[in-house]
Amino acid sequence: MRMRAGAAAAKSGSGMAGVLDANMRSAEGRKMKPAPEKLDHLSIHEGADGGHIVEHHMASSDMLMAAGREAERYPFEAANGVKPKLPEGHVLQHIAEHMHIPHEVMKEPRGEKQAQADAEREGKREEAGKVDMEGEPE
């Protein structure tokens, strides 16, 4: 029967110090996986060559580690005449506009649910703006 290192030390009578020491040696033999990092936010900067630099700022539960850590930088070259087609109203289209990234906007036919929501919104606006002949809201 195989015994854990801590249990073996405790059984041998070396006390708590022996248990801790045995557990430390056991942990050293195993490879500890670091916790997966999570992206906190992105920063996008215009590059000197007309391209852009995207920085990944990672979140950390350890404030000191997060404060001392540099963002991962990813440079992107200028588009050189290539204009990606981005759907109207998409987050990437919004970013491209603000960062002056050349792009084309695709006007996709709106889905039935979106068209219905737009019609309802427009109807509410018209209702709110109606006034009767004496200038009083209806």
Answer with the residue of higher pLDDT: 22 or 9. Answer: 22
pLDDT digits (tens, 9 = 90+) for 13-28: 556 666 666 666 665 6
Measuring CA to CA, which residue among 76, 72, 74, 73 is closest to residue 51? 76
pLDDT digits (tens, 9 = 90+) for 58-110: 887 666 555 667 889 999 998 888 888 999 999 999 999 999 888 999 886 55
